[in-house]
C-alpha cells in the first residue's frame, strides 16, 4: 500500500474538481464530486504504477499563503 498526496482545485467554469499528484507525471484527473475525483485519481495512479515503477520527480511539501497588497 502506497500513499500519495493530491492537490485539488475546482474549475470555476465547469465546476469540476481537478486533481494532480505533484511530482508524478501523468497523475492527474477530474470528477464532478470529490469522491469521483478520488476514485479517478486512484485508477490513474494504479495504471501508471502497473506500467512500471514510476519515480516521483518531486516531493509535496505543503501550501503557503502569500499576502500581496493591492
Tens of pLDDT, residues 5-55: 999 999 999 999 999 999 898 999 999 999 999 999 999 999 999 988 677
Comparison of pLDDT for 34 and 57, the residue scoring more = 34
Instruction: Give the model's pLDDT for residue 53.
Output: 64
Q: How confident is the model at residue 58 (pLDDT cuts 50, 70, 90)?
A: confident
Strands in 28-31's sheet, in edge-to-edge order, are 7-10, 17-20, 28-31
Domains of the chain: 1-70 (3.30.160)
Q: Give me the pLDDT at residue 63, please.
A: 85
Nearest to 27 by CA among 67, 11, 2: 2
Amino acid at each position: 500500500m502506497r500513499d500519495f498526496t493530491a492537490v485539488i482545485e475546482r474549475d470555476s467554469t465547469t465546476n469540476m474538481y481537478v486533481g494532480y499528484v505533484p511530482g508524478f507525471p501523468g497523475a492527474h484527473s477530474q470528477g464532478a464530486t470529490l469522491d469521483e475525483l478520488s476514485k479517478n485519481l486512484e485508477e490513474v495512479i494504479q495504471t501508471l504504477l502497473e506500467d512500471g515503477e514510476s519515480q516521483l520527480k518531486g516531493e509535496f511539501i505543503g501550501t503557503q499563503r502569500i499576502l500581496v497588497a493591492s
